[in-house]
Amino acid sequence: MKKSVLLFLLFSSVIFAQPVLRPGQVFQGNFNLRQAQDYEGDKVIWHTLNVTRGQNLLVRAEAESDSKMYAILPNGLTFSNDDTFALNPAIFIINQSGQVRIGFAYLESSATGPYKIFVENIPSATNITGTSIRGSLNSRSPKIAEYPIQIYQINLSANQPMIFLVESEFDNKLIAIDPQGNSFNDDDSGGGTNARIQVNSPVGGMAYLIVMGYSADSEGDFNLKAMTPPPPAPIAVGRTIRGKITGNEVVTGYVVDAYSSNVTGIEFILTPQTGRIYNIFLESEEFDTFLEVKQGETVRSDDDGGGGTNSKIIFESQSTQPIYIFVRPLEQGTTGTYRLTLSEARVLQTFEGTLTTASPKDISGKYYGIHDFRGTPNQKITIKLSSDEFDSYLIVQDSQGNRLADNDDEDEGTNSAVSVQIPSNGVIKILATNSGNEILTGKYRIRILAE
């Protein structure tokens, strides 16, 4: 009996042992759901790759179905990729030493079948010592995955943002690997068919840049620029700054998505006081505005809260950490003059309340608190509802009970805020309740701010 158990364990360990990948070789596997492990919501088969200092490697996969790769580096960083080369994923292993875990997964969770993993040496890099370097992609260029490339290396200082831009007549693509091993891909954030990436590494060291075409047959000359963003301009309460967006700005903002992170603009910095509330208003008659505000890890953005194509954010400072204000057009390629106004919000009234089982209920059974506010007819105000005990939902009505505005999440958190104009009789009703379907209780605070 003991002998059969031992044989079973040995047999299982052989079947489920992680395959070893080796530089210069191609691993051919067969994806079997029974052997796959659950990871980040995917079914993954893991492989090991031993990397020595000075080895810079490309690990890429090919399969008949759309696939994905994961990498867990020796320093603990984890990242993934699913479409570096057409629909095929790739991971760049640079500046590493030790064992790297490489995971392969199909995007379709039920997919199975054969796959290949290639481990290729990345060609040697050319140093960038200035702010611009010219290069060319042609049949004589080094290749990875059959794509002609040029590879460069540049020494980065810790916490110093750098912007890299590739300009060419062909549709180009840029891959950047920071000193920690994080990989960034882009193909058109630089405008038109040009690639643009901003890197801000928390540690200093060598970063690598790979310039390639969007397709394997792309050829031609290109210009690779390395730019340091200018420091943010100071702004103070009570100031109105008049400026102009020319299209030559290099600073990007804080919102990371396909529509908001690729347009350049101008950054300002405010030294705040804890607990103060600031009105930040951006207006332009020449372009549709977009405003972003960041303090620590808190990021807020607005497109048209200022009315029309103007932007507005009412921001409460949680500390004395600097507040960064980023001004830009909503869309890439638009230019023109703008006005940025910063003022401190005035609190007109504060209501402290508590939702309890004795509070009135709405038709869904949720408890709510209601408060009347009398202001100046046609006055514009902002109402903020906050709670540390439940996810808030704010409703504002006129004196007849007609809904004027409502809000669930002001800043993707649990607080709520709306801006309204007081009706002609000067009276509004403010309702505080919880968001979602749960019936919750707890303390809350309502503040009414003058604009």
* Nearest by Cα to 74 from 36, 56, 110, 100: 100
How far is CA 174 from its chain centroid?
18
The residue-averaged pLDDT of 345-350 equals 92
The residue-averaged pLDDT of 59-85 equals 90
Please write the tens of the pLDDT for every residue from 151-190.
999 999 998 889 999 999 999 999 999 998 888 888 887 7
**Backbone angles phi and psi of 411, in degrees to 5:** -140, 40
Domain architecture of the chain: domains with CATH: 15-121 (2.60.120.380), 126-227 (2.60.120.380), 233-341 (2.60.120.380), 346-450 (2.60.120.380)
**Is the Cβ–Cβ distance between 311 and 303 less than 8 Å?**
yes
User: Which value, to the nearest 10 degrees, does the dihedral of the CA atoms of residues 162, 202, 83, 124 take?
Assistant: 70
Average confidence score pLDDT of the chain: 89
The residue-averaged pLDDT of 303-331 equals 91
**Is the Cβ–Cβ distance between 293 and 324 less than 8 Å?**
yes
**Backbone angles phi and psi of 25, in degrees to 5:** -120, 160
Say yes or no to pLDDT of 10 above 50. no
User: Which value, to the nearest 10 degrees, does the dihedral of the CA atoms of residues 141, 147, 153, 154 take?
Assistant: 120
Say yes or no to pLDDT of 374 above 60. yes
- Spatial neighbors of 15 by CB under 8 A, at least 6 apart, are 35
Cα distances (angstroms) measured from residue 313 to each of 1, 279, 283, 346, 419: 73, 6, 12, 14, 10
How far is CA 126 from its chain centroid?
30
Please write the tens of the pLDDT for every residue from 99-150.
999 999 999 988 999 999 999 999 999 999 888 999 999 999 999 888 999 9
**Backbone angles phi and psi of 9, in degrees to 5:** -65, -40
The pLDDT assigned to 411 comes to 57
The pLDDT assigned to 16 comes to 52
CB atoms within 10 A of CB 315: 22
Say yes or no to pLDDT of 192 above 50. yes
Please write the tens of the pLDDT for every residue from 209-265.
999 999 999 999 999 999 998 999 999 999 999 999 998 888 888 775 544 556 889
- Rounded CA-CA distance 356/441 in Å is 5
User: Which value, to the nearest 10 degrees, does the dihedral of the CA atoms of residues 138, 140, 142, 148 take?
Assistant: 20
The pLDDT assigned to 187 comes to 86
**Is the Cβ–Cβ distance between 301 and 263 less than 8 Å?**
no
